[in-house]
Amino acid sequence: MSKVKARTHWVWTKLAEETFDARYTKDKQRKAGEPISDNPREVESAWLLRGYVIDAEDYIPSNGQLDLFDLLKV
């Protein structure tokens, strides 16, 4: 399967957190907004298509709060 590169790095989505099943993987618990553990710059394209990961630049926390520094490009 092909790999997809992130502009910044990949983070888990809420969907990945809710559907995580530790029986089939040795990963630690997936938390929405946290970087993926193996290679944060590349993932399998299926993960992106299924909505399990999103580029950190595009991620908006579930509480809807953004940090001011997320909006400013210094």
pLDDT digits (tens, 9 = 90+) for 13-37: 999 988 887 666 665 778 888 898 8
CA distances from 63 to 4, 33, 37 (A): 28, 12, 23
β-strand partners of 4 = 43
What is the model's pTM?
0.73
**Segment (H or E) for 49:** helix 45-50
